[in-house]
Structure 1
Amino acid sequence: MAIIQLTSDNFEAEVLNSDKPVLVDFYADWCGPCKMMAPVVDQIAEENDDIKVGKINVDDEQDLAAKYGVMSIPTIGFFKGGDIVDKSVGAKPKSELLKMIGK
């Protein structure tokens, strides 16, 4: 499944009102660890049709980052039923992100 670029305009529809759980990658283009996580997040999106995967550029969407307490990046949030149910900060192995989504 393709990764969705999330903004304050589509966040409610794509994440909060999603019928599927959503993995959200809070990142910035200048962030080295974020660049390391990008292929991992891409793989998870490709291999798991039962979840949505989205990315939020924290430089462009500072309000969303603040709302979800993103103080360091990369931060990966896992949303179910419109609520954030798990959060991981920093570069993590794929296996740790899979555990977060129950795989």
Structure 2
Amino acid sequence: MKTNKIIELNDNNFKKNVIEKKCLILVDFWAAWCSPCRILMPILEDLSKEYVNKVKIGKVNVEENSYISKKYFIKSIPTLILFNNGIIKETKIGSISKSQLKSLFNKYI
């Protein structure tokens, strides 16, 4: 079975791995102390395997990457931003279920 590893994004590699990529990428803005963020992580891991070669998933630790967090006006976490070919398509703030994420992905695949 193929596995799609969740990409660790940061201030330095965000442009190369998100903005310049010609694909669908979900970016999770999170922090280690955030309970809803920790609840979301296994869901994102499952979806990264289920949607391998369809949707890439990356995560940005907001405490370690203030530049990119400020650039996208991240005020609450988790914040999920779906990019398609480097363009923001949708933003979701707060907890979101696996079925809601699947619906979001399927809208753009």
Q: Does 1:40 align with 2:48?
A: no
CA shift for structure 1 position 24:
0.5
**Structure index of larger Rg:** 2
**C-alpha separation between the residues in 1 aligned to 2:49 and 2:39?**
17
> Please, what TM-score do these two structures have when normalized by structure 1?
0.94
**C-alpha separation between the residues in 2 aligned to 1:98 and 1:63?**
29
Q: Which runs of 4+ in 1 moved over 3 A?
A: none
Q: What's the CA shift string for 1:8-64, capped at 9, x where partnerless?
A: 111111100112110101000010110010011111111112111100000001111
Deviates more, 1:62-71 or 1:33-42: 62-71
**C-alpha separation between the residues in 2 aligned to 1:16 and 1:93?**
26
Partner of 1:87: 91
Partner of 1:101: 105
Partner of 2:22: 19
The secondary structure found in structure 2 opposite 1:101 is: helix
Mind listing any 5+ residue stretches in structure 2 that lack a counterpart? none
- 8 Å Cα contact 2:11-2:66 kept in structure 1: no
The secondary structure found in structure 1 opposite 2:26 is: strand
**C-alpha separation between the residues in 2 aligned to 1:76 and 1:88?**
5
> Please, what TM-score do these two structures have when normalized by structure 2?
0.89
The count of corresponding residues between Structure 1 and Structure 2 is 103
How high is the sequence identity, in percent, across the aligned residues? 35
